[in-house]
Amino acid sequence: MIGNPAYPTYQVFLSLGVSAIITLIGMPFFIRMMKKEGVGQQIRADGPQQHLKKQGTPTMGGTVMLLSVILTCVLCATWSTDLILAVAAMLFTGSLGLLDDIESVAHRRSLGLTPSQKMLGLITISVGFCLLAVNVLGISPVISFPGGFGIDLGVLSTIIPLGEGTLHIPWLYIFFVFLLMAGLSNAVNLTDGLDGLAGGCTMVVMLVMAAVAFRYGEINLAVFAAAIAGACIGFLWFNSYPASIFMGDTGSLAWGAALAALAVLTKTEVTSLVMGGLFIIEALSVIIQVVSFKLTGKRVFLMAPLHHHFEKLGWNETKVVIRFWIVSGAFAALGFALYFQLG
């Protein structure tokens, strides 16, 4: 380990810088490799016409970011069960995204794995994560809300004897964690439609989550969140408009799962949804658009997700991204304030 664990604040800031530097160093090599192999992003034909010029831009940059986060945790964190669980959730979901990216590139289409394949993968990852969190770490299935009240999602549980111990299966909490992890993963994925958008918003949210984990006393999780923020900082150097590389589903699905894992492990399941409010709004815009069109034959937005709606209104891409960063920062600050109310 580098640094000094006796100074946790130092370790968190160190992980932020180390992860950013590793990403800054590693990404150019990855971009050159992708260009050499002719691996590029496929752009949906029904999207904004100005995006067609992005066809062929190297993708799967999330691979470098994931490696950067893992290496940073090796260098800056003391490995513990909660950190292993968080990294595993991120890594397995990122691997699912990588398979999706490979499938998309191999068949040269904007869609990769089928929705059912993605859903099966997310169910497996979220259920496994939840069972380990509850049975190994003793995470409570009670969801806390601002105002001091909570909902016990462990009321419908099955206890299975296992040798000298038991396996606790809180069915409602497992379902909730699945919705949280699948929802946030897909929400970040839907947000990843403009240069710098998902990376910048993830950076903001993870910086706040690092502060939450630090105050919660989970220094290793704070290092983990800061490492993700650092990887996003390094990535934005290459993903800012006009992007030299995209993170792909490899990155976007992984960051959503990491946020969900951090929320469960720090017991901020509700406030994390506020912190990631921009992601939630992006996902809701798609749901509203689809439901409205099926029920009435009319669209609420010019195009979904929401960032494309503003492009259709005439906002240039950079303006949309910066303004969405501002909104994301406001949600993150509000969520942090609510966390203090709960604490």
Instruction: State how far the alpha carbon of 86 is from the alpha carbons of 83, 236, 286, in Å.
Output: 5, 23, 28
Domain ranges for the chain: 78-219+242-340
CB atoms within 10 A of CB 111: 12
Task: Tell me the per-residue pLDDT of 109-146, one tens digit each, with 9 for 90 and over.
Answer: 556 688 899 999 999 999 999 999 999 999 999 998 87
Backbone dihedral region for residue 217 (phi beyond 0: left; psi -120 to 50: alpha; all else: beta): left
Question: How large a percentage of the chain has pLDDT more than 90?
Answer: 81
Q: What is the pLDDT of residue 103?
A: 86
Q: Is pLDDT at 39 greater than 80 in this prediction?
A: no
Tokens coding 163: 């040798």
- Which of 293, 259, 322 lies closest to 93 in space, CA to CA? 259
Tokens coding 77: 């964190």
Task: Tell me the per-residue pLDDT of 11-36, one tens digit each, with 9 for 90 and over.
Answer: 999 999 999 999 999 999 999 999 98
- Which of 175, 183, 211, 179 lies closest to 8 in space, CA to CA? 211
| Averaged pLDDT score across all residues of the chain | 92
99 within 8 A of 33, measured Cβ to Cβ: no
> Model confidence at 42, in pLDDT bands (50, 70, 90)?
low
- Which of 232, 284, 238 lies closest to 258 in space, CA to CA? 232
Q: Is pLDDT at 300 greater than 70 in this prediction?
A: yes
Q: Give pTM, 2 decimals.
A: 0.94
Region 58-71: what's the mean pLDDT?
Answer: 97
* One-letter amino acid for residue 238 of the chain: F
Q: What is the pLDDT of residue 45?
A: 54
- Which of 303, 265, 305, 261 lies closest to 283 in space, CA to CA? 305
Q: Which residues line the annotated binding site for Mg(2+)?
A: 189, 249
Region 53-70: what's the mean pLDDT?
Answer: 90
Q: For residues 203 and 240, what is the distance between their CA atoms, to the nearest angstrom?
A: 13
Task: Tell me the per-residue pLDDT of 205-236, one tens digit each, with 9 for 90 and over.
Answer: 999 999 999 998 999 999 999 999 999 999 99
Q: What is the pLDDT of residue 11?
A: 94
Instruction: State how far the alpha carbon of 274 is from the alpha carbons of 56, 241, 334, in Å.
Output: 35, 27, 7
Region 290-299: what's the mean pLDDT?
Answer: 96
Q: Which residues line the annotated binding site?
A: 189, 249
Higher-pLDDT residue of 61, 145: 61
> Model confidence at 108, in pLDDT bands (50, 70, 90)?
low
